[in-house]
Chain A
Amino acid sequence: MKKIKCLFLLSFLCLFSTIYAQSGTVTGIITDEKGEAIIGAAIKVKGSPVGTVTDVDGKFSLKISSNASLAISYIGYVSQEISLNGRTTISIQLKEDTKKLDEVVVIGYGTVKRRDLTGSVSSVAGDKLAANPVSNVVQAMQGKLSGVNVISQDGRPGATMSVRVRGGGSITQSNEPLYIVDGVQVSNINDIPADNIESIDILKDAASTAIYGARGANGVILVTTKSAKEGKTTVKYNVYSQIKTNPKTLDVMNAYDYVLWNWEYATAYGSSYGDGVAKYFGLGSTYGNHLSEYKNVKSHNYVNDIMRTANTWNHDLSITGGNENTKVYASLNYLNDEGIRINSGYSRWNADLKIDQKINKYLLFNGEARYSETKTTGTNFDDATSAYQYRPIDNPLGDATYTTGLGQGEPNVSESYNVISIINNYQNIAKTSTIRSRGALTWNAIKGLTGKTEISLSRNWGNTRYWDGGLETGYKIAELTKSDGYGIRWASTLNYEVPSLGKNNNMSFLLGNEVLASQSNSTYIKGAGYPSGFTMDEAFGMINMTNVAYDPNIDKFTNTIGTPSHTLSWFGRMNYSYLKRYLLTATFRADGSSKFAPNHHWGYFPAGAAAWRISDEPFMESAKKVLDNLKLRLSYGTSGSDNISSSLWKETWTTKTIEVDGTNVTTYVPGDMLSNPNLKWETTISRNSGLDFGFLDNRINGSIDAYWNTTKNILMKVPVDASAGYSYQYQNVGQTSNKGVELAVNLELVRSKDFNFTFSATYNFNHNNVDKLNDNALADTHTGWGSTTRLPYYDYIIRKGQPVGLIQGYKSAGYYTVNDFNYDASTKTYTLKSGVADIKGLVNYPTNVTSGFKLASGQTAFPGCAKFEDVNGDGVVNADDATVIGKTSPQHTGGFTLNANYKQFDFSAGFTYQIGGDVYNANAMHSMMGNKDTGLGSNRLSFIADCFKVYDVDSNGNLTFVSDPTALTTLNANSKYALNYSEYGLVSSQFIEDASYLRLQNLTVGYTLPKQLLKKTGIQNCRVYFTGSNLFCITGYSGIDPDVNTDTDGVDGFPTPNYDYNSYPKARTFTFGLNLTF
């Protein structure tokens, strides 16, 4: 919008020259449709530099000729032109701009009115994002934009928010969209406060992304930040304070169940362990028979100790003003966001200064300097949820000093492993600072021709301090990582509106050239063995004050100079319209990238789009009463993804410091992977058809799009013949596709003076598919829970004909019941009935269990043993029966928002939802894993109390093994899960759960103080509000939150979506805020 205004202004200046006469004073009042005064509306005298803005009463006064014409404009309202015709007082009512068709959409290297848009672009205004008070603006985007899905890692401070535009085509490479802030590429927008954002536009189809060529394949997020506005100086101050609480913790076993389960398991694992546990807890006739007393013991859940109610403060101050020659905007923002886990938090400073200076009637200069600084604190985030495992009984009723009786499980109960001390022992403070500056010169050479050249320079610095206070290692360790980098962008464009093509034809061209260069370097220093009194700060201040007695070579240093990344590009775009109804856009970009071998430097990305404004057709005239807008869009094009390491195509050697028999030795090692000089970029072909609509005075408006994106030359790590000396190589081996439909709709249900009520919703359907995959491509990866004893080892796989993100595991059939066996009462032998498959190699129950039952020769299964489906039907359940047990990619996602205002009150509620998709509940699977004696003493999730039992407590209070079928059946009348003593961690379909949810993302109630009340204070506007966020989430998921992605980067370069293991809970927040305008 601001650009349009500039254009208006410039054209006025160029085209008019006015001679003044009959000067006098004109006064007026500007109001809205409700009769409320509009403060700050701009009044311009046409053909002169004179202008003013309205005051708090909506009034203005100007010394001008009484026959002048005035142009009156205000954001969100339809501008008006008034000829005074001799009047000296006027009263003007501005109408709200409901058409939205003249809304300006930012596209690559330019803007276009939504009316003329041919591509698929979703937009959201900055104030809509600011309405959801979160530190990362990306989180606020969730559910607000069609075709855009935001997946959060979890609730930790600085959590990764992954944005997927239409699913994402790549498998191993980044699917993050390209972020462009005011024309400049950035790696993310986490450091931009929502208050600074004017609008976000998301380019979704190739017709709009192709102009970004090799960077556009994953969609482009264009952020336009607020900038200088002409007129009265306005100061805005927004502040909020937030209270954050932990909404949900995992249900864990109570004291009695915990003690009994551990006693039984320990006894099964080995009689000496059973005795150790009994002695520690005081169980059985030997140790005091205290078992039943645990029913009255309150268990201690350390999650409650390490989670807290936290506070967040956010302050935003901005000032803008200026005249038609010089306009200035400055803002300052500070956020301090405490984490809901102790020893975690996030804070951020932002400062921005923008200047627009008109040099002469041909030249305009825009300059900006933006500084941001972030600080993220905390480490060991896993403990936020896994702390329940630690020492649930404060005062064991046996020999509390006998923790050694729990074998490797000792740390689960030993006070020296207190989770609180462990959390506080480590510090990880990561600071980043970024300065971006930008200068642009716009030259309006001749009518229709605009040249613009823009240079932006950025510098960034990182400083990460990792501190280990020595609790576990016995000595203190300081690790300092410093990084710095730069980015340079020089872009030049030439716009030409072809004149004199007649009334019916419009044509314009854009030609451009862009040069990008960036590099990052890092330095790492590690020291250890600081004097006992040293604090973290002292250690970092004197990092060489180390003690070699601990390890003469533990001190380390490295320095790495990054390989610069250079890109050279040429691009062009042609827009043509006929009768303003038939629109055509063609774009082309040629990109050269330094990341590829010389023979593959260049990539070419063409795209074309057409649109038909059906509602403007003469034959639609009759429908005009109800139909405001109907536009059909079609597009086809390609874009690429060059976001890969630059060292994949050539053989490289780097240094690596190792310790050889206590001495540091610096070695040269070749890269991990076999180089591939034939590497090409992944290219996405995008096809889109869309329909924009608006009915009933635009009370119903929206758009629907259908797309089919195909990404070819998918880069994957492919195993190569190991005899080459390397195991893997990156190759272009596959093709994926995303097909989908997305819908965005706004309904103005009530539009009146005092009461307005709107409903807006987005809906996305996306189907991801791996179309082609070379047979040799390694498509399997694994998570980390359960370590090497997890079965199957590869629990995430990629298969042709299926979406990315398949979970591989075993289909649970519960457990073997007594009825699965023929029982020979004379020999007490259990023999599997014919047709019931035995299990081999998947379970390894302790000998005391397997030898407790008499089993037919060679048989593994016994009553209570975990049971899985014999998927391949070979009569035995073994490793070969691993199959797809979950598909993580959700098919339906979106959100909806209700907005209302009644008089001075405003109200909004934002919901997000996901239907379908599976979540991988590794916490539950881990609870089901025996894990040898390492698992002893740790508390487990509450459902473990419902596992099959093979021990009973006899009349003397001692455990007895139960193998008799009748007794077993009685003992297990209420059992729901298999006996969980097997060492292996089994990926079982039982704990692959539906990830569907509906979340009330935020609920806001605001009150704007009446203007009359503020009149004398100099305050133009004052609003107070309350927002509750994450108030509820309706889901069938038994874990903490189905919107989770623990390993954001996946493993070995492959994604492991929806994996939930020890994730950090998302806070429930309550925000109190104030918006002030002076």
Chain B
Amino acid sequence: MKKLIYTILLAVGMSSIVSCSDFLETSSPSVVDADFVFSNIETARAAMDGAYEQWRSTCQNQIFGDGLFYGSEVVGSDIERHPEAFANQPGRHYPECLYQNGTYASSYSLLSYQSESNAYTYLYSCIGKANAIINAMQNASNFKSIMSTGTASDFSQLYGEAIALRACSYRELIRFYGDVPYAYKNGVAAKGLAPRDSIYDICIAQLKTVEPLMYRVGDNTTMAKNVFSRTFVQGLIGRMCLDAAGYQTRRSDLGSSFYKDGSGNVLTFETLGTTHNNCVYERRSDYKTLYETAKTYLKACIDNPGTVVFHSTDPRSTGSKGQVFDNPYQYFFQQMNNLEYADESIYEYNMTQGTGNDARPYSFGRVSSGGTAKAYPCKSYGQGRINPAFYYGMFDPNDKRRDVSACVTGSTGKGIEKLIPFTPNSKAEGGGITLSKWDENRMASPYVLGQRVSGIHGPYMRMAEIYLAYAEACAVTGDDATAKTYLAKIRERSFPTGKANTDAFITSCGSTFKAVIQERGFEFAGEGDRRWTLIRTGLLPEAIKKIKDMTYNMIQGLKNNGYYTFSNGNTISSYVWTKLVDAKTSYGYRLTTQCPSGSESDPVLYPGWRGQNNDWESFSATAATASSPYPIYGTATPKTNLAIKGLFSYINPNGTDAATLVSNGYAKVDWGSLLVTYSKEYYDYLFYDYDYTSAPIYLWPFTPNIISTGSLTNGYDFKQQ
């Protein structure tokens, strides 16, 4: 019997004993490892696509759409501002205003904005995914032979894209956080801070290595504008060189030998302003070397841009109803509004209409008080606003970029144009002059079913930047003539023939270099480029001083006289006179374009590039009913456009002109008077308490999790926990 029992026992457990180790190791064909993914170019490409998706999400949600970009970059310059009251969003208004001359840094709660850690972790997630690809490809047996061929292949292109993704991510990390850890292996933490200069040097060197091994935009069908191309890498080298060569606020609490270059040599610096919050505002003494490198690669990009086109004339003819375009600068944004890759773009991160969360035009476009869904257009919050002193006092009235970039009207959300008051608020309810480059009214196929899903791509790099960066590099390295050539190319396309006055502009700015930097302000107005450009060029203090003085004088003028006239001839007044008109009947269209020369007195066509979509009716999601006449206009020819009088010239509210306007149906509306009412918002809190000499605290703090897991410390007087 015993024997039998043992036999049974054995039978019971035998099979499992024999195959024990195998049995406990299970796998699924739906879950694979890195070796599998990088075993062939198709799946490796899919991994890069996964990395792009992380980058796209990072751009949109953290560093070039919402997140920190939204919090400080788009709003924290001399020409751009936020819409709501300062006290309403302390989490982002303090970082935006340089932490009240740095004095608030030590009080700033590390999670005040709640996005501080996301940008950091998202960017490192991009780096991690790039590292996974780079590490796997470097380990491939044919890596060396492919890299030594000297020509582009699918393999080297893929490798180059991963290198570019890593470089982009570090570039943005440094911009927002200063010195950060440098990680180059997926899954392996870097431990501790690396000097930003060494990161710049390493990234630039790597980009230089991969640049000749990549395809240009349009070289083949896969080289679309949402892929990192050779063209992009050339621009990126230029961009990173300018960053690396620029002034930045560096920590003095990390030891005198902390800041080293890519080869490990301790760097020397040139300092600007005063030491502050344990930090110094300075640039590398060898900055010109970096500018030279930038020149080389930017020129290469200009000389052979692939299929990228810099339009100096508008390819559009006159519209079917006689609309005048004649604005090649606007054409770039129109293409984006049409959900095409713009001809001038080198790289755009892509969005898809109807899904995701699109910052353009919701945050950086023309404002709309529409609802979250089924509105015309849907809500556009309008985080990016234009400083009134910049709009009135700095823009040349002949500069065609002004009306493309900024607008005094938004939308009600019911297909009607609305004047935006300067009262602190959001949407078209207040907040002042809106950024207007992206506008759902202007889209070929606007999305009316929901807010924030317009599908407009993010314009991450375009040719105008390359021209201006090249001009800057030339100016810094002593080649003013070439600098002026490229500056003129930018200006001339945006002015009527003969009105660009580049020489006079340079003279007024004080130098070719300063003129180039100032030009970037006009070219990229409202796009969040200005703040960083001023920081890295060291021109931040004087720019702030200038705008604050202009704002002060403007408010004083309005307060004392009811108007103020700027040196360019523009006048802002306490009141304007407006009335709604039926533009479709009068002009044949509602969406206005470039104001035809000579029509500047037309209160509907000037300023240009406003109005409403020509055909909101056709996009209506639901039919109108008696109780709900919206969204289709209640009558066949509704009054949709706003005629504005007195926007740039003074009309005495007690005079006969004003009385005539009222008798013609115009209403007197508060305008500049609100700037007086809210002078604290427009003047005091504009770079609140900045003393124009202290090292600017433009950075964001590391959050407690980042500090503890990375064994880091916060600098710049931020809290440690």
Residues of A that sit less than 8 Å from B by CB: 270, 272-273, 400-401, 403-404, 407-408, 410-411, 414-416, 443, 445-446, 449, 451, 453, 472-474, 492, 494, 511, 513, 515, 550-551, 553-554, 559-566, 568, 570, 592-594, 598, 601, 646-647, 650-656, 658-662, 665-670, 674-675, 719-727, 775-776, 778, 788, 793, 840-841, 844, 847, 850, 860, 878-880, 983
Report, nearest first, the 8 A-B pairs whose CB atoms are least far apart. A725-B128, A721-B189, A667-B50, A661-B350, A492-B12, A723-B183, A723-B181, A723-B190
Residues of B within 8 A of A401 (CB): 627-630
Are A719 and B709 closer than 8 Å at their CB atoms?
yes
Does B31 sit at the interface, judged by CB under 8 A? yes
Residues of B within 8 A of A860 (CB): 87
Are A453 and B127 closer than 8 Å at their CB atoms?
no
Are B30 and A407 closer than 8 Å at their CB atoms?
no
Cα separation A551 to B457 with both chains bound (whole Å): 16
Are B630 and A726 closer than 8 Å at their CB atoms?
no
Cα separation A670 to B88 with both chains bound (whole Å): 39
A sample of 15 more A-B contacts (CB under 8 A), given A400-B627, A667-B49, A847-B423, is: A270-B423, A270-B429, A401-B629, A407-B371, A415-B627, A415-B628, A551-B355, A559-B30, A656-B50, A661-B457, A723-B127, A723-B189, A776-B709, A840-B90, A880-B109
Query: Least Cβ distance of A330 to chain B in Å?
Result: 31
Are B24 and A592 closer than 8 Å at their CB atoms?
yes
Query: Least Cβ distance of B720 to chain A in Å?
Result: 13
Q: Can you list 28 A-B contacts (CB < 8 A)?
A: A270-B423, A404-B414, A411-B372, A449-B5, A472-B373, A474-B621, A550-B354, A551-B352, A551-B354, A554-B354, A562-B30, A592-B23, A593-B24, A651-B187, A658-B49, A658-B50, A661-B350, A661-B351, A666-B49, A667-B53, A721-B711, A722-B710, A723-B181, A724-B190, A725-B127, A725-B131, A844-B90, A847-B88
Are A653 and B47 closer than 8 Å at their CB atoms?
yes
Cα separation A568 to B26 with both chains bound (whole Å): 13
Residues of B within 8 A of A449 (CB): 5
Interface residues of B in 389-447 (CB under 8 A from A): 412-414, 423-425, 427, 429-430
Does B46 sit at the interface, judged by CB under 8 A? yes
Cα separation A788 to B61 with both chains bound (whole Å): 14
Does B484 sit at the interface, judged by CB under 8 A? no
Cα separation A653 to B133 with both chains bound (whole Å): 12
Cα separation A1047 to B562 with both chains bound (whole Å): 58
Residues of A within 8 A of B372 (CB): 408, 411
Are A850 and B30 closer than 8 Å at their CB atoms?
no
Given A652-B31, A659-B355, A879-B109, residue A668 in contact with residue B131 (CB < 8 A): no
Are A725 and B129 closer than 8 Å at their CB atoms?
yes
Residues of A within 8 A of B430 (CB): 270
Residues of A within 8 A of B8 (CB): 443, 451, 494
Cα separation A407 to B114 with both chains bound (whole Å): 26
Residues of A within 8 A of B601 (CB): none
Residues of B within 8 A of A793 (CB): 111, 114
| B-side interface size class | 35 or more
Does B367 sit at the interface, judged by CB under 8 A? no
CB < 8 Å: which of A404, A553, A562 contacts B413?
A: A404
Are A416 and B374 closer than 8 Å at their CB atoms?
yes
Cα separation A654 to B31 with both chains bound (whole Å): 5
Does B303 sit at the interface, judged by CB under 8 A? no
Are A408 and B5 closer than 8 Å at their CB atoms?
no
Cα separation A445 to B9 with both chains bound (whole Å): 13
Residues of B that sit less than 8 Å from A by CB: 1, 4-5, 8-9, 12-13, 16, 20-21, 23-34, 36-37, 43, 46-47, 49-50, 52-54, 85, 87-91, 109, 111-112, 114, 120-121, 124-125, 127-129, 131-132, 180-183, 186-191, 224, 226, 350-355, 369, 371-374, 379, 412-414, 423-425, 427, 429-430, 449, 457, 621-622, 627-630, 705-706, 708-711
Query: Least Cβ distance of A280 to chain B in Å?
Result: 13
CB < 8 Å: which of A400, A658, A726 contacts B53?
A: A658
CB < 8 Å: which of A408, A453, A788 contacts B379?
A: A408
Residue of A nearest to B412 (CB): A404
Are B50 and A668 closer than 8 Å at their CB atoms?
yes
Are A661 and B352 closer than 8 Å at their CB atoms?
yes
Residues of B within 8 A of A472 (CB): 373, 449
Are B125 and A561 closer than 8 Å at their CB atoms?
no
Cα separation A650 to B25 with both chains bound (whole Å): 12
Residue of A nearest to B54 (CB): A669
Residues of B within 8 A of A656 (CB): 50, 53
CB < 8 Å: which of B13, B28, B85, B424 contacts A561?
A: B28
CB < 8 Å: which of B12, B24, B89 contacts A513?
A: B12
Query: Least Cβ distance of B419 to chain A in Å?
Result: 11
Are A670 and B26 closer than 8 Å at their CB atoms?
no
Residue of B nearest to A569 (CB): B16
Residues of B within 8 A of A473 (CB): 449
CB < 8 Å: which of B28, B114, B373, B622 contacts A564?
A: B28
Query: Least Cβ distance of A1068 to chain B in Å?
Result: 37
Cα separation A668 to B4 with both chains bound (whole Å): 55
Residue of B nearest to A407 (CB): B369
CB < 8 Å: which of B9, B187, B224 contacts A725?
A: B187
Are A660 and B629 closer than 8 Å at their CB atoms?
no
Are B36 and A653 closer than 8 Å at their CB atoms?
yes
Residue of B nearest to A601 (CB): B24
Residues of A within 8 A of B371 (CB): 404, 407-408, 410-411
Residues of A within 8 A of B226 (CB): 660-661
Residues of B within 8 A of A559 (CB): 30
Cα separation A660 to B222 with both chains bound (whole Å): 13
Query: Least Cβ distance of B366 to chain A in Å?
Result: 17
Query: Least Cβ distance of A731 to chain B in Å?
Result: 12
CB < 8 Å: which of B26, B34, B85, B187 contacts A653?
A: B34
Given A404-B413, A721-B181, residue A650 in contact with residue B16 (CB < 8 A): no
Query: Least Cβ distance of B376 to chain A in Å?
Result: 11
Residues of A within 8 A of B132 (CB): 670, 725
Are A668 and B89 closer than 8 Å at their CB atoms?
no
Are B705 and A725 closer than 8 Å at their CB atoms?
no
Query: Least Cβ distance of A520 to chain B in Å?
Result: 10
Cα separation A696 to B288 with both chains bound (whole Å): 100
Residues of B within 8 A of A593 (CB): 24
Are A651 and B33 closer than 8 Å at their CB atoms?
yes
Residues of A within 8 A of B43 (CB): 668
Residues of B within 8 A of A562 (CB): 28, 30
Residue of B nearest to A860 (CB): B87
Residues of B within 8 A of A720 (CB): 189, 709
Residues of A within 8 A of B25 (CB): 594, 598
CB < 8 Å: which of B12, B188, B429 contacts A453?
A: B12
Cα separation A652 to B32 with both chains bound (whole Å): 6
Are A653 and B12 closer than 8 Å at their CB atoms?
no
CB < 8 Å: which of A414, A662, A667 contacts B352?
A: A662
Cα separation A650 to B414 with both chains bound (whole Å): 54
Are B24 and A566 closer than 8 Å at their CB atoms?
yes
Are B13 and A668 closer than 8 Å at their CB atoms?
no
Cα separation A407 to B191 with both chains bound (whole Å): 49
Q: Which of A554, A778, A793, A841 has its CB near the most chain B CB atoms (within 10 A)?
A: A841
Residues of B within 8 A of A494 (CB): 5, 8-9
Given A404-B413, A411-B371, residue A445 in contact with residue B4 (CB < 8 A): yes
Query: Least Cβ distance of B593 to chain A in Å?
Result: 27
Q: Which of B5, B351, B379, B709 has its CB near the most chain A CB atoms (within 10 A)?
A: B709
Cα separation A724 to B710 with both chains bound (whole Å): 10
Cα separation A207 to B181 with both chains bound (whole Å): 51
Are A844 and B88 closer than 8 Å at their CB atoms?
yes
Are A652 and B33 closer than 8 Å at their CB atoms?
yes
Residues of A within 8 A of B622 (CB): 416
Cα separation A721 to B190 with both chains bound (whole Å): 8
Residues of A within 8 A of B28 (CB): 560-564
Cα separation A451 to B224 with both chains bound (whole Å): 70
Query: Least Cβ distance of B440 to chain A in Å?
Result: 16
Cα separation A677 to B34 with both chains bound (whole Å): 16
Residues of B within 8 A of A553 (CB): 352
Cα separation A401 to B414 with both chains bound (whole Å): 13
